[in-house]
Structure formats: structure tokens, C-alpha cells
Amino acid sequence: MDAISAGFSIDIVTLVLTRGIMQMMLGGLLLYLGGRELNDQSARWWAFGFLFNGISLFVFPFDFEQPWQLVVNAVNHLSLGVGSVLFLIGFWQFGRQPIKPWLLIVLLAFPITSVIAWEVLWPNARYRVLCTAVGQVLYLFVLQHVLSKPFRVEFTRIYRLLRFVVIVYIVVFVWSYASIAELLPTTARQSLDYHKVIFSVASLLFMLTLAVACLALKFASLATRDADLAMRDWLTGLLNRRGFFHAIKPSKTKKHKHSLTSLLSIDIDHFKKINDAEGHAAGDQVLQHFAKMLKCFDNDNDNRLVARMGGEEFLVILFNTSEAEALVLAEDFRHQVEQKKVTLNGQKTIDFTISIGVYQVPMQENIEQALAHVDDALYAAKRKGRNQVSLPT
């Protein structure tokens, strides 16, 4: 046992301070990215998590006389707890999951209790360390659970890798502190120095992996944001033609495979006259105003898709909607548009009308055929005088 311990001899204080410096630097990098490059709150939460974790490591080696040692121990434990809470908030926010304040309070209760109970009231360094350690194990299990729910498929691989790392670290963490608690079988016990070395190296690798994962998630987020922008019409914010065809890939609409699907093809009547009479800036305002009205169809992202297919032409997909239901929705929307006026630059107001083609898609028909049929329905509405709803002739 002594030979094994000697083989693992290392300067723990130097390693701890190295971890602290590394985490401070990584925290600063994430803070820079969160404030400038990505403008994302989750990066800021992670940054402050690394900074507080670094503070806990910086004060760890100090050994003073009381009452200053009490202050050092309090900063060490509380900074560790606060850092864990900040990490969780960052992952909740990044993953678009609700923050659970009660759980954060529970996590902070462990380091607070360890300081008050085992540093002030009944001084016991062993119990103080173990109490905070229990809170850290709880934090790691919560983090592992949070990482089980990536909100986008692009982040799945990073989440899966990080979950694996967290699980491995939990095993090392519990094994290390079980020695302090004397919970390990006698045959599995090693000297405390042995545990300190393994735990310190594991902690260094864990925090480094966590930092790299956070950076990877932020850059993956930036890449997905750029990809999303390429799928969106810059003027209206609706899906563009490319985004529409991407959104209706079979893999994305497979849960609607056996449901009724109806299409609405919508065209603003005499839009060229608006551009000629009022100017293209006014035409853009009309398109933006109309897009806001169209978003009434987009109140359920799972059942409806709205896209600007080009110029003044728009398309709405209504899943789980029969032809009769689609006709009612289309007529109601046409009437709303007819009654609405657009204010240009806060002064002049203009009104406009729309024509709508409605088509229910048979199950065996592909999207190209369906689009041709709904266009026929739109042209029928125009031939009949515009400002009306029509089926294919």
C-alpha cells in the first residue's frame, strides 16, 4: 500500500491551484463569448460557475488561525455550492428547460449546513467535508438528468459524451469520499494521499471536459443559429422556400403520416400596384404586417407550418385538418385581412385583400403534386375575381 501511495506522489496544492487558474481562464473565455460573440445568457452562467469553482480552489490550500480559517473554509464550501448552482442554471437555460428554484435551494443548503453545523456549532472537519460532498453528488446526478434531454438533435452527441463523463466522475467522487467516511470495505481502502491524487486528477479532467463541452455547445449553437437563418425569410421571419422543404422532410413529419393534411396557398391581390403606387418600402411593410397576421396559423408548431414561398406568395400546411375545416379557416382569415388596414410610417393607411387556394392532400400524393394542385386552386380564386377562397377546378 505504501509503495502504491509513493508511486502516486504528487504536489496536491500545486495541482489544486493549477485547476483554479485553468477554471478562471475558461470562465473568462466563456464570459467573453457570452457577452460579445454569442450574446447568450447560458454562457455567462457557465462562466460564473467556473469562476466560483476557481475561487473555492484558490482558498483551499490556505491554513490560518481562527477566526480566519473559518472564513476560508466558508468561502471554500460556499463558492463550490454556488458554482454548482450556476452550472445547472446555465444548462437549464441552454436546454430551454424550466429552472427549479427549490432544487437550487436544496443544493445550497448542503454547503451552508456544513459551515454552520460542522465549522461553527460543532467543529468537525470530516463531517464538514462530507456534508458538502453529498451536495456535490446530488448536483452531479441532477446535471446528468438535465443532460438527458437535448432540445435539438445537433447537440445529442455532445450531451451523450458529457453524460458519460459525469457518470464516470460520480463513481470516482463517491469512491474518494467513501474512504474519508470509512464506508469502503477494508480490502478496498488505500491511504488518503492515494485518494487525493486520483480525485484531484479526475477533477481536473472533469472540469476541463466540462469547459470544452460548454464551448462546443456554444459554437454548435452558433452553427445551428446560422443554419436556421438560412431557412428563414429575412423580411418576415417566416420559413423561406428552402426552410419549407426542409421542414416537411419525411423524417420530420412522420408522426403526421396517417393524418389529414390540407394546404393553403395565399397570394396578396394586386401587390405590384402597392409597390408602384406607394414604393417598395411600403410593400415591405405590407408583407411584414401580413406575416404577423399569418402567424395566427403558427400557434401550434407541431400541427402547422407557415412559409413565404416567394414574393407575395405564402403557403400554410394544416396537419390533422380536413378540407371542410381548412375552408372555414381560410375564409375566416380572408375576412380578417379584408377588414384590416396597414399604417405606413405612422401616417397613411392602406388596405388590401388576398386570394386563397385550398387543397386536401391524398395520402399517396407527394408534395410536388400537392403544391401543383393547391396552386391550381389559387389561380381559380384569381380567375373568379380575387379576394376569395377556392378549391381546385
- In SS3 terms, 287-307 reads as HHHHHHHHHHHHCCCCCEEEE
Residue 319, C-alpha cell as written in the block: 396537419
365 catalytic? Reply is no
Q: What is the model's pLDDT at position 335?
A: 93
Burial class (CB in 10 A: 0-12, 13-18, 19+), 334: buried
Q: SS3 of 154, please?
A: helix
DSSP letter string over 328-369?
HHHHHHHHHHHH-EEEETTTEEEE--EEEEEEEEPTT--HHH
Is the pLDDT reported for residue 218 higher than 50? yes
Is the pLDDT reported for residue 1 higher than 60? no
Residue 302, C-alpha cell as written in the block: 407541431
Q: What is the model's pLDDT at position 187?
A: 41
* Average pLDDT score over residue span 327-347: 87
Query: Which residue, among 288, 327, 282, has the nearest Cα to 308 in the 3D structure?
Result: 288
- Cα distances from 95 to residues 6, 8, 34, 211, 346, in angstroms, run 44, 39, 15, 16, 40
Q: Confidence band (pLDDT; 50, 70, 90) for 233?
A: confident
Other CB atoms within a 10 A radius of the CB of residue 154 amount to 14
* Average pLDDT score over residue span 241-254: 74
- Helix, strand, coil percent content, the chain, rounded in steps of 5: 70, 10, 20
* Average pLDDT score over residue span 5-20: 61
Residue type, 105: I
Pick from 28-42, 265-279, 347-361: least confident: 28-42
* DSSP H or E run through 131: helix 125-146
**318 half-sphere exposure, CB direction, 13 A CA radius:** 22
Out of 154, 182, 278, 312, the active site residue is 312
Mean pLDDT of the chain: 83
Is the pLDDT reported for residue 13 higher than 80? no
Is the pLDDT reported for residue 161 higher than 90? yes
pLDDT digits (tens, 9 = 90+) for 301-310: 567 889 999 8
Other CB atoms within a 10 A radius of the CB of residue 74 amount to 18
If you ran DSSP here, which 8-state letter would residue 254 be given?
G
Is the pLDDT reported for residue 15 higher than 70? no
Q: What is the model's pLDDT at position 257?
A: 56
Q: Confidence band (pLDDT; 50, 70, 90) for 144?
A: very high
Position with higher pLDDT, 123 vs 253: 123
* Average pLDDT score over residue span 1-11: 47
Q: Which neighbouring-strand residues pair with 265? A: 315, 357
- Which residues, in sequence order, are CB contacts of 172 under 8 Å at separation 6+? 198, 199, 202
* DSSP H or E run through 375: helix 367-383
Q: Confidence band (pLDDT; 50, 70, 90) for 143?
A: very high
Burial class (CB in 10 A: 0-12, 13-18, 19+), 337: buried
Q: What is the model's pLDDT at position 116?
A: 93
Q: SS3 of 144, please?
A: helix
